[in-house]
Homo-oligomer: A and B are copies of this chain.
Amino acid sequence: MAEQRRLHLGAVMRPVGIHTAWWRYPGSYPDANFNFRHLARFAQTLERGRFDAFFMADHLAVLNMPVEALKRSATVTSFDPLTLLPALAVLTEHIGLIATASTTYNEPYHIARKMASLDHISNGRAGWNVVTSSNPMEAKNFGRDEHLEHATRYRRAREFIDVVTGLWDSWADDAFVRDVETGVYFDPDKLRALDHQGEFFKVLGPLNIARPIQGWPVIVQAGASEAGRQLAAETAEVVFAAGGRLESARAFYADIKSRMDRIGRDRDHLKVLPAAFVVVGETAEEARAKRAKLDSLVHYESAIASLSVMLGVDASKFDPDAPLPDIPETNSSKSARERMMELAAAENLTVRQLAQRAGGYSGFGFIGAPKAIADEMEEWLFTGAADGFNIMFSHAPGGLDDFVDLVVPELQRRGIFRREYEGATLRENLGLPRPGNRFFDMSSNEK
A348 at interface by CB-CB < 8 Å: no
Complex-state Cα separation, A191 to B77, whole angstroms: 11
Residues of A within 8 A of B (CB-CB), count: 72
A227 at interface by CB-CB < 8 Å: no
The chain B residue with its CB closest to the CB of A58 is B208
Interface contact B185-A76, CB-CB below 8 Å: yes
Copies of this protein, total: 2
Q: A82-B114, A114-B83, A208-B59 are in contact. Are A31 and B178 (CB under 8 A)?
A: yes
Interface hits, A120-153 → B, CB 8 Å: 120-121, 137, 140-144
Interface hits, A49-74 → B, CB 8 Å: 59-62, 67, 70-74
The chain B residue with its CB closest to the CB of A40 is B90
Interface contact B178-A209, CB-CB below 8 Å: no
The chain B residue with its CB closest to the CB of A28 is B180
Interface contact B188-A62, CB-CB below 8 Å: no
A341 at interface by CB-CB < 8 Å: no
Interface contact A87-B84, CB-CB below 8 Å: no
Interface contact A208-B61, CB-CB below 8 Å: yes
Q: Mark A284-325, 1 if CB is under 8 A from B, else 0.
A: 000000000000010100000000000000000000000000
Interface residues of A (CB under 8 A from B): 21, 23-24, 30-31, 34, 36, 40, 59-62, 67, 70-74, 76-80, 82-84, 86-87, 89-91, 105-107, 109-110, 113-114, 116-118, 120-121, 137, 140-144, 171, 176, 178, 180, 183-188, 191, 201-210, 297, 299
CB-CB nearest 5 A-B residue pairs: A83-B117, A140-B204, A86-B87, A30-B178, A90-B90
